[in-house]
Structure 1
Amino acid sequence: MQTEVHMAKKTSYYDYLRQEMTDMVEQLELPDLCKQSLKSRWLDQVVWADKKAEECRRWHYRLRLTAIVGGVLLPAVVGINFQLGNQLGKDNEYFRFWFPYVPFVLSQIIAVSAAAEEFMRFGDRWREYRQLAEELKAEGWEYLQLTGPYRYKTHQEDDSPPPLSRSRMSEVSVEDWKALKPQTENKESTTHQDVYTLFAGRVESLIKNDVQNYITALQQKQAKEQEQIKHILKTVEKVSTDKTLFAKPTPPPQQPPYGAANPPHNGFGAMGMPAQHPAFNAPGQPSIPPVPPQNTPMAQTAFAQPPAAFAPPPAPSAPMPQPTVAQPPAAFAPPSAPMQMAFAQPPAAFAAAPSASAPVQQTALADLNARILASTLKLRGISTADGPDGGNNACAWTVNKVIQDASLTPLGANPNYVPAVLDALKQGRGELVPRESAKAGDLVVADGEAHIGIGLTDGCSRVLSNSSSRACFVWESDTDFDGSYGGKSTIYRLKS
């Protein structure tokens, strides 16, 4: 008699989650079409996002830990290779042959792990998938338990805009509130059938927002990669056309030996004089021109005594005729005027230039504005979902991101807080400018320090800032942010 043993298949967490949620959906008083839509759209997205988040988390930990542990072990392996390689290699040929390859292999593993993590962005994708999964779960639980926005019935006109997503509920910009039509609420109890359309709309809003953030991040990454490729191509072209890299080096000119300007002749120098002391032929001093050989008769010229600084060495024991120098060369002539007279007037190159600090300062400020404007146009349209509150309160964060892209130091002790940014401007980083003198690239602070943006035109008639409702750097308004903050804005120009 044979006994069959059936091993129960281990149920994964995702199968358990799908089964539990499916049972709950089946118990709702909804048409079959609505139940099937909930399982195919909402529940499928919850399980998929949860599974992808766990997968990216595992790969992120694997690659990061490989790079970290390998970076710690590599110096130790290199030290062992140097210290023990020679000693153990004498007795163990296998060790001597293979162990030097260990540091190389370990360094390549570290490099591959870091490069794979940088390219695949497992850490960023883990956080994005986890956020989407938790938001979908929270929305589903509120719908199943009829809490939150599903607690009471909401009467809304048919042509009103779709409901806002969860990521936009904490703070919505003024223009969004103006776009919404008046709604009335009552305290009537509701059912799952009554708020099914509201729940479906909010789920679609969450999924669309996640897809849009992914596409925006992908476009930014591709633009950055394109810039890197262009830079590499320019470098390669510059190197390939530089002929000096392949030119043969030119040998240095042969310098005559020391003292060769007056070569000796039969033990005597020029004009039949004894070989001169090195002081006469010191480097940088003019040498006495050569003359015919000694056996050529020539008229003897009397020379006056040279200056003491150029006097020849003491005469040897055997007396020799000492010629006299009539007039020293012009190069050795003593100055006819005191030395300080030559420096009575400073050279023209050191003359004081007229003061030009004001134009230079204006030029520097104009250059800063141009850099800020260029970075503003470059980053226009980027997602600010990585900023505070998922982009809802990211106006100061966005402005500092532009300033940092312009290779400048971010503003404020807390770069995400508008009052801190304004304090930094008032304490020397910026200067207050009137509207008629405003330029493109100036910083525009809303009334009450509630918002901040960057001027796109002279006079700051058009200002670009973060849109809280879209979590994107796309809101273009007038100087006072279209009256959203109830007062007039102030304009500052960055100085450093």
Structure 2
Amino acid sequence: MESAILEHNQGITVQPNYSPDPSGHSAPTPTSTQRTSGDRTRQKYNRLIDSPELQNLTFLEKEFLRQRWLDQMIWFSDKASLYRDRHYRIRIVTVIGSILVPAMISLGSVCTGAFFLQLPEATAVSPSAASTSPSTESATPAPIASPPSSASVSLAWSRFFLFTGLGLSQIVAILAGVDQFFKFGDRWRHYRSTAELLKTHGWQFLELSGPYESYASNGDHEAAFPVFANQIEEIIQSDVDGYVTQIATQKSFNQGIDNTRF
């Protein structure tokens, strides 16, 4: 019994920590700090592609899964996350700034009013300084007392609130214009819907469900692969056509604006 266990243990070789690369070569697995969401997704689906259930697929078909379907799905997902973060950050700053600007202007007006209320007391002249000789042809102007510290503080706060409100309003307007010009929200929703569509077709192909259900009885992924490849190419092509149409529409709109100026 012990000799059998020893022979079994001697037959086990320790494999290095490598993961399959999309090109078919082995690459070292990155550390946990270097792994990104896309890397983890790629490793997970690479294990599915190399699973025994898909062993009847040819090398080119597996390369299509890696280079065409998986890469595109990760690219769209990463772009969706990027534009989602940009859209959310701009929206948060815009909303908070829109609330703070009226408050800053109101506080600046209050501080300005407080400054002017304290101004008469600050400019009051003492009787001794105001007395002048009537026989003198040109009377020397009486010195004006400097405003008290409370008035100076009110003026400083008034300037701070007014200038801060003005600067914040410009930042809000610029960020709203940037978000409207680059359409971060629209791009996020577009990329997310395309990524989810690619993911849905990928899982339907792996499980032989949906449009590939007719091949489930034999478990023949190779026979279902042409249908899957055609679906993926149509999704990618529709995305390209939509982008070209958007660029053409934007260009014609800009040309129409230029023509109305002359």
Shared fold by TM > 0.5?
A: yes
Superposed structure 1 runs of 4+ greater than 4 Å apart:
none
DSSP 3-state at the match of 2:62: helix
Q: How does 1:77-476 map to 2 (within 5 A)?
A: 77-87=104-114, 90-92=151-153, 94-95=156-157, 97-153=159-215, 189-231=218-260, 233-234=261-262
CA shift for structure 1 position 96: 5.0
> Greater relative contact order (Cα 8 A, min sep 6): structure 1 or 2?
2
Q: Is residue 2:80 matched to residue 1:42?
A: no
60, 63, 73: which one pairs with 2:90? Answer: 63
**In structure 1, how many angstroms separate the alpha carbons of the residues matched to 2:248 and 2:93?**
29
2:99 corresponding residue in structure 1:
72
| Structure (1/2) with the larger strand percentage | 1
**1:89-148 deviation digits (Å, cap 9, x = unpaired):** 723365455443112101101110110011000111111101100110000001111112
CA shift for structure 1 position 194: 1.3
Contact 2:109 2:158 in 1 (8 A): no
2:15 corresponding residue in structure 1:
none
In structure 2, do the counterparts of structure 1 residues 61 and 227 end up closer, same or farther at CA, with 3 Å as the change threshold?
Answer: same
Contact 2:108 2:159 in 1 (8 A): no
CA shift for structure 1 position 223: 1.8
2:27 corresponding residue in structure 1:
none
| Structure (1/2) with the larger helix percentage | 2
1:12 corresponding residue in structure 2:
36
**In structure 2, how many angstroms separate the alpha carbons of the residues matched to 1:116 and 1:110?**
10
CA shift for structure 1 position 12: 2.9
**In structure 2, how many angstroms separate the alpha carbons of the residues matched to 1:97 and 1:77?**
10
Larger Rg computed on CA atoms: 1
- Whichever residue aligns with residue 22 of structure 1, its letter is N
In structure 2, do the counterparts of structure 1 residues 14 and 8 end up closer, same or farther at CA, with 3 Å as the change threshold?
Answer: closer
Contact 1:63 1:113 in 2 (8 A): yes
In structure 2, do the counterparts of structure 1 residues 97 and 148 end up closer, same or farther at CA, with 3 Å as the change threshold?
Answer: closer
CA shift for structure 1 position 203: 0.3
DSSP 3-state at the match of 1:61: helix
**In structure 2, how many angstroms separate the alpha carbons of the residues matched to 1:109 and 1:17?**
38
**In structure 1, how many angstroms separate the alpha carbons of the residues matched to 2:162 and 2:217?**
79
Contact 1:150 1:190 in 2 (8 A): no
**1:19-40 deviation digits (Å, cap 9, x = unpaired):** 1011101112122222122101
**1:258-313 deviation digits (Å, cap 9, x = unpaired):** xxxxxxxxxxxxxxxxxxxxxxxxxxxxxxxxxxxxxxxxxxxxxxxxxxxxxxxx
CA shift for structure 1 position 190: 4.3
CA shift for structure 1 position 69: 1.7
For these two proteins, the number of residue pairs brought into alignment is 194
Q: Percent identity?
A: 32
- Whichever residue aligns with residue 223 of structure 2, its letter is D
Contact 1:152 1:190 in 2 (8 A): no
**In structure 2, how many angstroms separate the alpha carbons of the residues matched to 1:208 and 1:32?**
24
- Whichever residue aligns with residue 229 of structure 2, its letter is A
DSSP 3-state at the match of 1:195: helix
In structure 2, do the counterparts of structure 1 residues 212 and 15 end up closer, same or farther at CA, with 3 Å as the change threshold?
Answer: same
- Whichever residue aligns with residue 149 of structure 1, its letter is P
- Structure 2: runs of 5 or more not aligned: 1-30, 116-149
CA shift for structure 1 position 221: 2.0
**In structure 2, how many angstroms separate the alpha carbons of the residues matched to 1:8 and 1:76?**
46
CA shift for structure 1 position 47: 0.5
DSSP 3-state at the match of 2:221: coil
CA shift for structure 1 position 10: 6.0
2:123 corresponding residue in structure 1:
none
DSSP 3-state at the match of 1:151: helix
